[in-house]
Amino acid sequence: MESPADIPFTKQMRIATRDIHNVSDALINAKIGFAMSSSRVWAEGLLVFYEVFHYLETALDRYSHTLMGEMDVAGMRRAQAFEQDLTYYLGPDWREGYTPRESVRQYLQHLEKVEAENPYLLLAYVYHLYMGLLSGGQILRRKKALLQKLKFSRKESVEGMAVTELDGSVVKLKREMTEAMNRIAETLDEDARERLLEESKMVFVLNNNMVHSIEGVGAVITLKIIKLGVCGALAVLLFTYIKKHWYG
């Protein structure tokens, strides 16, 4: 049986977050993924997560002179892509009058607290959020492209999805981030590694809190359910009519 010391740290992170990660995946798939046909919901999702990605990227700038800089893999940054998509959905003046909602403020306050304790703890957020976007973003991109095709769109690009567009290989980016995280973890003491595992769980707790706060998600899902219900009712009525008039 492997001892913790023999297990790559990124694998330890996955093991530590397995349960809460599954809950988070189910929530996001049920809400964001299910409501992708709504530009309003997608834009709100971008808006809440933009603040977190922006904070983390400015933190990588602040600590670029340390080992944290190794996590700043070329091609991984997404904040500018978020801004591009937000401009597409909300217009060029989307920042005017904008104030982050409570769930976002709580997230940012926690990041500030963690950074004050030990900046390296921010790596839990960098690793999980960017790895999640690199993986899940490609799935969402394919779903969005499929929706456009179903709507007979002739546009080859997936507009409003710059955050999922990558110039290089996703596999290569994920491998480089994983290797960097493992290298950095080897330089940290046991207490710091344990705190990183604890913060790994908080990533998903805070993510879930933000996703719950996205307005319009419930309305979109309810509308879809109503549509499905109406279609089902029509199907039953049609079947009853055919049975009655054709088969007596």
Residues 65-73 have a mean pLDDT of 97
Q: What pLDDT, on the 0 to 100 scale, is given for residue 232?
A: 41
The model carries a pTM of 0.80
Annotated binding site: 14, 21, 127
**pLDDT, tens only, 206-237:** 999 998 888 654 443 333 333 334 334 333 33
- For the chain, give the number of residues: 248
Which whole number is the average pLDDT over 80-88?
95
Q: What is the pLDDT of residue 217?
A: 43
Q: What is the pLDDT of residues 3-22, one digit of tens each?
A: 566 799 999 999 999 888 77
What's the rounded mean pLDDT across residues 104-124? 98
Quickly list DSSP for 2-70. --GGGS-HHHHHHHHTHHHHHHHHHHHIIIIITTTT-HHHHHHHHHHHHHHHHHHHHHHHHTTTSGGGG
pLDDT at 33: 56
- CA dist 123 and 230 (Å) reads 48
**Six-digit token pair at 30?**
């049920």
Q: Does the pLDDT of residue 67 top 90, yes or no? A: yes
What mean pLDDT do residues 56-67 have? 97
**All structural domains of the chain with their residue ranges:** 4-214, 216-248
Give the pLDDT band (50/70/90) at residue 242. Answer: very low
Domain topology for 4-214? Heme Oxygenase; Chain A (1.20.910)
Q: To 5 degrees, how large is the angle CA 74–CA 100–CA 18?
A: 60
pLDDT, position 192: 97
Whether 136 and 161 have beta carbons less than 8 Å apart is answered as no
Predicted confidence at residue 243, as pLDDT, reads: 37
Most confident of 41-50, 149-158, 200-209, 237-246: 200-209
Q: Which residues are annotated as a binding site for heme b?
A: 14, 21, 127
Q: What is the pLDDT of residue 21?
A: 77
pLDDT tens digit string along 144-165?
A: 666 666 554 444 456 788 998 8
